[in-house]
Amino acid sequence: MLEPFAASRCLTLGVELELQLVSTYDYDLVPVAHDLLRVLDQQGFKGDVKLEITDSMIEVATGICKDYAEAAEQLAALREGLLRAARRLDIGICGGGVHPFQHWSERRISEGPRYKQLNDLYGYLAKQFTVFGQHVHIGCPGPDEALLLLHGLSRYIPHLIALSASSPYVQGADTGFDSARLNSIFAFPLAGRAPFTLTWAEFQDYFAKMARTGVVNSMKDFYWDIRPKPEFGTIEVRVMDTPLTVTRAAQLAALIQTLARWLMIEKPFRPAEDDYLVYTFNRFQACRFGLDGVWVDPASGEQLSLGDEVARLITRIGHHAVELGSDAAIAELAANARARRNDARWLREHHANDPLLAELVRQQCLVWADA
Amino acid sequence: MTHDPLATLSLLPSWPLHLDNAFWFALLLVVAPLAGEFVFRYLRWPRIVGYTLIGLFASVIDFDTSGLQIPALLQRALEVALAVLLFELGNRINPRWLLANPWLIATSLAEAGLTFVAVTAMAHTLGLGLGSSMAVATVCMVSSPAVIMRVAAEMNARGQVTERLLLLSALNTIYAVVALQVLLVALGVVDAGDPWNAALNPLATLALSFILALLLASAVGFAQRRIDVSDENGALLLLGLLFLALALVQTLGASPLLVPLLAGILLRSRDPRPRLWPRHFGTAGGALVVLLFVVNGMATDWRLIVGGGLVALVLLVIRAATKIASTVLLGRRSGLSVRQSAALGIALLPMSGIAVLLTTSLHQAFPEFGTRVASALIGAITVMEIVGPLATQWALKFCREANLTRGGRHA
């Protein structure tokens, strides 16, 4: 069933983060999600924390925020609450898109009918789905505006991937990718881009046809990079790896909000199906090479360095950032893009200093607790 | 020439065959792993139950235990095996956790303290002197860290119950060793007539143990900063350091239990960088650990199960009740569910090698500690050598922390 598109305040934002729960002894993932929720509850913690598909991960979410400052503040409060509960259980919490050396066969699927159904359907893919992403919701005034924003933002998916990439290591080895997490997601049959429909009526037609085939039951069955979330009245950007710090997560959310404002108010271009000709190429470049990747401008066909293009884009939308109060936050992203610095690079540098991956995870826990 | 000319001509050995201890011992080493695999594969029991059963069986058929003198070097090797397990255990303990979650200290003090008080009261009621009663109670505090480490490792258990199980078992081992020393002071004062010396000796033992632990921790820390301890050569070096430490323990009269355990704890708390050496320090250590359980089984005597009779049974029931009651009562506050709290109490039940060790030393220290008491205690331990690992295994499954898919492959 496709719900009706709920009303939401335009350009409000919400951030969801999937986080890793690790042992402080060997820094491998540890199944303590239920324990963490119990202790949070005992400590009277007020905040949105949920179980995820395997029980060594949790998902936290902010409420509806109006700007960067509010999102950053809520994320910091969530982090402090989680750290307090984690100390009681002697566990570590960290960001990063993939745990660098966990073995997928050892993961345990959470209890609950939906997870059981996913496990039965996808088999080992469900366990391999122990990956950690950041999702950002942007409030839209109506469903048609939501679809227009969705296809407008698609051009900038590579930018967001490269800035957030934090999953170079998988199952104990360097994959060569900055974001190897997305490779796990592409394996799902309903992953990728949303169909090119610019009105809600067309989208309803598409959904009805898909539902008739029995392949999908709800929007949750689509693993698209950006998908509409009718019950919230938002679109949800889902390509980011969970950054190593909540500060970076808030900055990325600020960038998406600023892009949305620019696209909604200035309408700098009309989205077209042809934009998607270079979509998978651009996305691959961002996953593989991060800010060093190549970005092909879908309009001009020009090939640019992604790091430079990110910095140029941020300059171009600067006045919208000033309006939203996110200028300082996204200026920092621009500086990082120019220096080609992202979390994947941070991880590789630390790993070069100390080849023990367990120590790398410990460093991830320290940096997450710090900023 | 008076001797039988046939004897010199025959190439056959004389009959009956004279098989020496080395042969029987070797046979034991062949049968033990087979038995371990048998109980693991067909009964889904922990392998160590198989090892222990073989040891027990050897003592049942009265297979000349006196003749089976374990060579001194092998004896040392077994002590190293226990030290390996205690060192690994210590290295998994994070003392800072106790500060972050004081209800853990409460749980630990309650489960060991209540056990001590209840067992003392019971033994005293049954007519045992107060000193002996406390000695029995001291032995009953310990939850065999060796058994718990092995079963948890074999099941690849991960989670809150497993972590707390290891922590509580390390702590109650420390309590028992310290309590034993205090007990020696208390009773020694009465006997020795020289209170000064009597008080000083046990204190010196504890202080010395701490110093040796510090030295061992420093040596291991020093070694692993320079060579890779995750390969076989590095693991051999670690084993060597433990051998060396235990030799010093023997010479200086420190506690062979406290030194490796404290060394592990000190090492981890001084440097938080995770250190992942192979389990039991690799194959050599692993083989010694198997042997440890066989010898544990041999050290006890099945006849004492019958001999200890009712006393042994009452001891075990009281001990189980106090341990489980403590974890259930305090579990919720320390952040566990009721199910997990019960599992933790049940998993804490094993009693084994360390209990035998403590009983023997008590038996030597106090003449009053009569054979009847010692038999009851050894009887209880013998039962727990079989029941204990099963209890821990069941409890870890009950709280969903077992991960047998991998345990079957790696343990």
φ/ψ (deg, to 5) at B156: 50, 45
- Residue given tokens 């201890």 in the structure block: B21
Mind listing the pLDDT tens digit for each residue in A97-122?
999 988 766 666 666 777 777 777 77
pLDDT of residue B106: 96
Higher pLDDT, B250 or A368: A368
pLDDT of residue A221: 87
pLDDT of residue B306: 63
CB-CB: which of B100, B272, B400 is closest to A88?
B100
CA distance A250 to chain B (A): 29
Q: How far apart are the first and last CA of chain B?
A: 62
Question: Which ranges in A63-156 belong to alpha helices (H)?
Answer: 68-89, 113-122, 124-128, 143-153
Specify if A287 maps to a domain: yes
Chain B contact present for A124, CB below 8 A: no
Whether A24 sits inside 8 A of B94 (CB atoms) is yes
B277's CB contacts (< 8 A; 6+ apart) are B224, B229, B230, B234, B235, B238
Specify if A325 maps to a domain: yes
Whether B274 sits inside 8 A of A87 (CB atoms) is no
Higher pLDDT, B5 or A205: A205
Specify if A3 maps to a domain: no
CA distance B273 to chain A (A): 6
Confidence of residue B372 (pLDDT cuts 50, 70, 90): low
Cα four-point dihedral sign B21, B24, B26, B29: negative
pLDDT of residue A122: 74
Whether B273 sits inside 8 A of A359 (CB atoms) is yes
Looking up residue A277, the CATH number of its domain turns out to be: 3.30.590.20
β partners of residue A235: A138, A228
pLDDT at B161 over 60: yes
Confidence of residue B68 (pLDDT cuts 50, 70, 90): very low
pLDDT at B408 over 60: no
CA distance B94 to A26: 12
Chain A contact present for B97, CB below 8 A: yes
Specify if A353 maps to a domain: yes
Range A22-39 average pLDDT: 94
| Nearest Cα residue to B383 out of B355, B351, B359, B338 | B351
Suggest the residue from B163, B165, B229, B400 to mutate for an interface test with chain A (most A CBs closer than 10 A): B163
* % of chain A surpassing 70 pLDDT: 96
pLDDT of residue A138: 97
pLDDT at A151 over 80: yes
| Long-range pairs, A200-205, Cβ under 8 A, ≥24 | A200/A5, A200/A142, A200/A143, A200/A144, A200/A146, A200/A147, A203/A143, A203/A147, A203/A228, A204/A2
Whether A35 sits inside 8 A of B156 (CB atoms) is no
Range B276-293 average pLDDT: 74
Specify if A6 maps to a domain: no
Q: How far apart are the first and last CA of chain A?
A: 41
Range A252-266 average pLDDT: 97
The answer to whether the beta carbons of residues A242 and A249 sit under 8 Å apart is yes
pLDDT of residue A71: 97
Chain B contact present for A24, CB below 8 A: yes
| Nearest Cα residue to B394 out of B343, B350, B345, B320 | B343
| Nearest Cα residue to B132 out of B378, B367, B380 | B367
Residue B402 with chain A: CB contacts under 8 Å: none
CA distance A31 to B293: 30
Chain B contact present for A88, CB below 8 A: yes
Q: Domain total for chain A?
A: 1
Mind listing the pLDDT tens digit for each residue in A188-230?
888 899 999 999 999 999 999 999 988 888 898 899 999 999 9
* Largest interatomic CA distance in chain A: 57
CA distance A62 to A164: 18
pLDDT of residue A104: 67
The answer to whether the beta carbons of residues A13 and A71 sit under 8 Å apart is yes
Highest mean pLDDT among B33-42, B218-227, B308-317: B33-42
pLDDT of residue B71: 61
The answer to whether the beta carbons of residues A33 and A51 sit under 8 Å apart is yes
Higher pLDDT, B112 or A107: B112
Whether B272 sits inside 8 A of A362 (CB atoms) is yes
A74-78, A155-159, A177-181, B6-10: least confident range: B6-10
Specify if A232 maps to a domain: yes
φ/ψ (deg, to 5) at B91: -70, -15
The answer to whether the beta carbons of residues A64 and A132 sit under 8 Å apart is no
Encoding tokens for residue B159?
A: 């989670």
* % of chain B surpassing 90 pLDDT: 39
Range A26-45 average pLDDT: 94
pLDDT of residue B265: 94
| Nearest Cα residue to B275 out of A26, A361, A352 | A26
Confidence of residue B42 (pLDDT cuts 50, 70, 90): very high
Taking the CB of residue B200, how many other CB atoms lie within 10 A of it?
13
Chain A contact present for B270, CB below 8 A: no
Cα four-point dihedral sign B250, B256, B258, B264: positive
Specify if A295 maps to a domain: yes
Residue of A nearest to B275 (CA): A26
| Nearest Cα residue to B107 out of B402, B347, B374, B401 | B347
Range B96-108 average pLDDT: 95
CA distance B301 to chain A (A): 38
Specify if A78 maps to a domain: yes
**CA atoms within a 13 Å half-sphere pointing along the CA-CB vector of B158:** 25
State which residues form the domain around A79: 13-368
pTM of the model: 0.90
**CA atoms within a 13 Å half-sphere pointing along the CA-CB vector of B250:** 12
Residue B101 with chain A: CB contacts under 8 Å: 87-90
A260-264, A312-316, B120-124: least confident range: B120-124
Whether A35 sits inside 8 A of B406 (CB atoms) is no
φ/ψ (deg, to 5) at B140: -70, -20
Mind listing the pLDDT tens digit for each residue in B12-23?
555 555 666 677
ipTM: 0.89
Write down all domains in chain B, each with its CATH number in brackets: 32-398 (1.20.1530.20)
pLDDT of residue B170: 95
